[in-house]
Amino acid sequence: MSTMREINFDGIIGPSHNYAGLSLGNLASARNAGAVSQPRSAALQGLEKMRANLALGLVQGLFVPPPRPARAWLASLGTTIEDADPVIAANAMSASSMWAANAATVSPGADTRDGKCHLTVANLRSMPHRSHEWGATMAQLKIAFADPAFAVHRPVPPAFGDEGAANHMRLTGAHGEPGHELFVYGVAGGPFPARQHLEASRAVARLHGLDPARTHFVEQSEAAIAAGAFHNDVVAVANERLLFAHEQAFARRDEVAALCAANGFELLEVAVGEVSLAEAISSYLFNAQLVTLPTGEQTLIVPSEAQETPSVWNWLQRHLASNGAIRRVEVVDVRQSMANGGGPACLRLRVACDPATVDPRFLVDKAKIDRLAAVVGHHWPAEIAVDALQDAALISDVERARSALLDALDLTGSLSG
């Protein structure tokens, strides 16, 4: 029996979670800029999502937030958190690493030349507040995936923007079988930047030793980027044989349809006449976790905003009634993340591997989630106002909270920097 499982590694929402509105092209981030955030509630919502995944029979992992403020990054700019311009300070206090889908691009061993699972850390160069994440991310990946079954690569050069698995999909008969990998890139996005560069995607494919015949580079539609789909996972998601996408997700949707038809995959499209791009993006219908349960059911884990958007919820109910490819829909509350532009899919990095090869400190069970929830409840700030990001008391609380989390996970000696 195969030991290969898909593991969802969720980013624990950090104690500095705030709404500084730093992400150009992310409509939710811009809409909520300046609002008071609730880091404690945010982190607890994330942990409850992990708990719900465990209850579905899924394997669940975690990543921890990097040090905040990003003191080394500030020092490279010749300043400190106390003296920095408020905008620079906000960039140094961002908790955006919670969206682990941007941590790296992952190719399972079944797809790679050497049979190892390859991970390339994303450089996230498009946005200053994310551009300094990669070092802390790589430190975690090197520990979590230290087994010889893995190969962890440094980011591609920052001349080419790479935003990780949020722009990468994999289609396959089963997680342990060879698959086709789809790298989605942008060329233009109207008023917003296209964050994933084609050259970055090509470089990752080469680094991972992928079969060119099973590797595809797909252009995201300019309309989708301009509408606020700053990453492909806002308008499309894949799991095993199913690609679930909005009709306007891709620049050349006929090529995607032909790729699926030629290889026995199913393209399940939501027509623009049923759900507009604006509705898809505001509800994060596609920024959902599309997973296979142990029963074999394809299940879509959507944010509560999808249930509250009539066109989206009606489409889902019609699809379920038709006995279509998606057999079950689960609703989770991740409102604090959603308000900054990240749904259930943003919060996790998918890694198909043997769980026994992963450092167990990065895997969770119910008891560990209980312990982490107690740490969050005791140490995470209840609220953060954007104009308080340089307050000494808040900075001390944020740093102390992360230290308590590392202690609880027995990672202090490995990730204290």
User: Which residues form the catalytic set?
Assistant: 163, 231, 346
Between CA 56 and CA 296 the distance in angstroms is 12
Q: Is the peptide bond before 157 cis (omega within 30 degrees of 0)?
A: no
Q: Are 102 and 65 in contact (CB under 8 A)?
A: no
Closest by alpha carbon to 58, among 290, 284, 288, 237? 290
DSSP 301-347: EEEHHHHTSHHHHHHHHHHHHTT-S--EEEEE--HHHHTTT--TTTT
Query: What is the bridge-based pairing of β-strands 5-11 and 59-63?
Result: parallel
Tell me how crowded residue 148 is: count the other CB atoms within 10 A of its CB.
8
Between CA 342 and CA 28 the distance in angstroms is 9
Beta bridge mates, 246: 270
Is residue 396 helix, strand or coil? Answer: helix
